[in-house]
Amino acid sequence: MHKFNVRTSARNELIDITQKVTAQVNKSGVESGICTVYCPHTTGAITINESADPSVASDITKKLRSMIPKNENYSHAEGNSDAHIKSSLVGNTVQVIIENGALQLGTWQGIFFCEFDGPRSRNVWVKIQ
């Protein structure tokens, strides 16, 4: 398993980690396989979406913020239930096919770490099989 760090700079933020995942795939030398990208945090997530236009990522965080307000009648005493809910909705894992030693992403796709309770230092785990 490979691990790398992501430094987030806002409470809600999508960070393109495609280059960091690609670096792990290159290091592995795997020509044909599966790359699993995993977020080991309960207030973060991983998703694949458009990386060409950065306003797509900001629209996603903006909509999630309006759908899931920070302050509501939540029970969780830590005060970050909105972040936990966003994490569950978006999900912890993505899998991408590796062929000819390269991640098989669509033309406009990138892999994003989703921060919902930042800024923090976060970990991403990658398993290449």
C-beta atoms surrounding 3 within 10 Å: 11
Question: With respect to Zn ion, which residue has the nearer C-beta, 43 or 51?
Answer: 43
C-beta nearest to Zn ion: residue: 78
Site residues, Zn ion (CB under 5 A): 78, 80
Specify the DSSP element, H or E, that contains 81: helix 81-90
For the CB of residue 54, give the shortest distance to Zn ion in the complex, in Å: 28
Question: With respect to Zn ion, which residue has the nearer C-beta, 53 or 78?
Answer: 78
Could you tell me which residues are beta bridge partners of residue 5? Answer: 123
Cis peptide before 119 (omega within 30 of 0): yes
Question: With respect to Zn ion, which residue has the nearer C-beta, 54 or 79?
Answer: 79
Look up residue 31 and give its amino acid. Answer: E
Question: With respect to Zn ion, which residue has the nearer C-beta, 85 or 98?
Answer: 85
Taking each helix axis from N to C terminus, what angle separates 81-90 and 54-67, rounded to the nearest 10 degrees?
Answer: 130
For the CB of residue 81, give the shortest distance to Zn ion in the complex, in Å: 7
Contact 113, 7 (CB under 8 A): no
For the CB of residue 86, give the shortest distance to Zn ion in the complex, in Å: 12
For the CB of residue 92, give the shortest distance to Zn ion in the complex, in Å: 15
